[in-house]
Amino acid sequence: DAAPTYQPYNIERTGENAYRITVAVAGFTPDELSIEVNENVLTLRGEKAAEPAAESAQVLYRGIAARAFARRFQLADHVEVKGASLENGLLHVELVRNIPEAKKPRTIAITSGAPTQALEAKAA
């Protein structure tokens, strides 16, 4: 990203396999935001619609940025976007990690190589 401090964000763990990315998008409407996932890359974009110039007001200082942005996040394998919401200028993207059973680690029981009966037969 060209401006790493623009569009600040948080990444939170909300459960064992649940996460939330929260991005500050004050001034953007839901129609001006887009969310896309392509090959484990989550891209959040914002594009402000051009505001018509008011004839009665002249901007003396513009400190509120109204520029477009794109934020990209590399997702781990098996992470899916479950939903998104916009609340009080914050875009919340809910993520969940669903590891297939075949990919989960499993415990293998260890048994002894010699059966107990064979030892008893030799002792007699």
Where are the strands (E) in 1-124, listed by range? 9-15, 18-24, 33-38, 41-46, 69-74, 79-87, 90-97
> Which residue segments constitute the domains of the chain, with CATH numbers given?
9-123 (2.60.40.790)
Q: 11 phi and psi, to 5 degrees?
A: -125, 125
Question: Mean of the pLDDT values across residues 2-25?
Answer: 87
Split at pLDDT 50, 70, 90, the class of 96 is very high
**What is the pTM (predicted TM-score) of this model?**
0.71
Encode pLDDT of 23-79 as tens digits: 999 889 999 999 999 999 999 999 987 766 667 778 888 887 778 899 999 999 999
Length of the chain: 124
Split at pLDDT 50, 70, 90, the class of 88 is very high
Answer whether 50's CB lies under 8 Å from 57's CB: no
Mean pLDDT of the chain: 85
